[in-house]
């Protein structure tokens, strides 16, 4: 594995590796991606091996601009053009019916393909100089915390990745919003910085939000096993409403646990047993540091991590979604 500060020669090396069917991790505005030539099924297979990701989980194909949509998608509905015009380059992935040449290895065996133009100068230069689509999931091992810095990718993947382009810390910090436009009615598949309301406003039509994405903004600490573990630290992580935070911490300390706490507003006193990481109160900055903060606490051998639940409002939806998925247990 090589980690390179991004300059023209690093991009050139990255393009050569992609052309050889090898893996290049690169920065985007959301999280780092683990990229391979999307038209090369063998290269794409390497992504699944590197991440230990099940083969039926489809990948997003990154493209340089919306003119490339027709290289990958069979029909391009007006809705796709509207969203591309409004939000690309940016943190939105669109699912469309795929062209027949798009490898099933990319789409997890489905007839649809996910497409996104990332808003990051390094990603865009790489895409332009490579000249094709780059299939790239987040550059973490399956179900682990997404990387928002080049160093995180090195920690996650080591020699499983051939080159890491270092473009600094990601600006947004949370994966893209995903909208499925492959059927008659648009459907939200993943929350992100671009909200469902913004999508609805841009489309001027109804957007289906599946029940699975309408998880309750919990008022309680959730019981074990209610959600799939995803984006998760290896340390058991609790999500806790502000009003119960001190109480939960007191109980854990009474049980002689050593804990890391990620606060949002509450003031918690640090002791030998409690380390506090205070998060920013502004939603965008919170998102930017969220994964790096979880990762930092996860490295410190705590018995448990406790995260103070941020506000349950629409603006915080993507953050709450990721935090819900990162937390499983309950006292
Ligand atoms: O912000 C992002 O989207 C980042 C950066 C690297 O671009 N990528 C990312 O990729 O988050 P990944 O693989 O971690 O998540 C992609 C999501 C998966 O949940 C996958 O199921 C969904 O996109 N997806 C991709 N293609 C799809 C398709 N054809 N149909 C349904 N879902 C699809
Ligand atoms: Mg991911």
Q: Is the pLDDT of residue 72 over 50?
A: yes
Which atom of ligand 1 approaches the CA of 57 most closely?
A: 21
> What is the pLDDT, as a whole number, of residue 227?
45
Q: What's the whole-number average pLDDT of the chain?
A: 93
| pLDDT tens track for 188-245 | 999 999 999 999 999 999 999 998 888 654 444 454 444 456 778 899 999 999 999 9
> What is the pLDDT, as a whole number, of residue 166?
97
The band of 4, judged by pLDDT with boundaries at 50, 70 and 90, is confident
Which H/E stretch holds residue 322? helix 317-326
Pick the closest to residue 116 from 169, 204, 53, 38 (CA basis).
Answer: 38
> What is the pLDDT, as a whole number, of residue 216?
56
- Which domains does the chain show, CATH number per domain? 2-218 (3.90.870.10), 237-329 (3.40.50.11030)
| pLDDT tens track for 264-313 | 999 999 999 999 999 999 999 999 999 999 999 999 999 999 999 999 89
**Beta-carbon-side half-sphere exposure of residue 319 (alpha carbons within 13 Å):** 28
Cα 14 to ligand 1 centroid, rounded to whole Å: 22
| pLDDT tens track for 21-70 | 999 999 999 999 999 999 999 999 999 999 999 999 999 999 999 999 99
Segment 300-327 shows an average pLDDT of 93
Pocket of ligand 1 (CB under 6 A): 28, 30-31, 33, 57-60, 91, 93, 95, 107, 110, 112-114, 116, 118, 136-138, 175-176, 178, 189
The Cα–Cα gap between 180 and 42 comes to: 26
Q: What is the largest CA-CA distance in the chain?
A: 61
Task: Let me know the angle formed at the C-alpha of 322 by 5 and 262, rounded to the nearest 5 degrees.
Answer: 80
> What is the pLDDT, as a whole number, of residue 225?
40
> What is the pLDDT, as a whole number, of residue 329?
45
Segment 4-19 shows an average pLDDT of 94
């Amino acid at each position: 594995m090589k980690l390179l500060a991004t300059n023209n020669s690093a991009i050139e090396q990255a393009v050569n590796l992609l052309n050889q069917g090898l893996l290049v991790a690169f920065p985007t505005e959301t999280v780092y991606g683990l990229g391979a030539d999307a038209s090369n099924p063998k290269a794409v297979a390497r992504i699944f091996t590197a991440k230990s990701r099940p083969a039926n989980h489809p990948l997003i194909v990154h493209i340089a601009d919306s003119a490339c949509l027709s290289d990958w998608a069979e029909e391009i509905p007006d809705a796709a053009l509207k969203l591309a015009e409004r939000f690309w380059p940016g943190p939105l992935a669109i699912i469309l019916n795929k062209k027949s040449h798009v490898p099933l290895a990319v789409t997890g065996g489905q007839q649809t393909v996910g497409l996104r133009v990332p808003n990051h100068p390094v990603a865009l230069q790489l895409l332009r100089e490579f000249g094709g689509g780059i299939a790239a999931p987040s550059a973490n091992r399956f179900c682990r915390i997404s990387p928002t810095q080049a160093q995180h990718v090195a920690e996650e993947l080591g020699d499983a990745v051939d080159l890491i382009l270092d473009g600094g810390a990601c600006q947004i910090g949370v994966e893209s919003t995903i909208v499925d436009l492959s059927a008659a009615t648009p459907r939200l598949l993943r929350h992100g910085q671009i909200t469902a309301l913004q999508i609805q406003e841009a489309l001027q039509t109804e957007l289906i939000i599946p029940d699975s994405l309408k998880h309750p903004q919990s008022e309680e600490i959730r019981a074990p096993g209610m959600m799939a573990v995803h984006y998760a630290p290896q340390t058991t992580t609790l999500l806790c409403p502000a009003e119960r935070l001190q109480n939960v911490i007191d109980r854990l300390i009474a049980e002689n646990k050593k804990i890391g706490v990620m606060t949002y507003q509450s003031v918690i006193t640090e002791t030998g047993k409690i380390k506090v990481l205070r998060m920013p109160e502004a939603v965008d900055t919170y998102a930017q540091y969220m994964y790096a903060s979880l990762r930092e606490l996860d490295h410190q051998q705590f018995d448990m991590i406790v995260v103070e639940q941020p506000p349950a409002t629409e603006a915080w939806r993507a953050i709450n979604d990721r935090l819900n998925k990162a937390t499983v247990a309950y006292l």
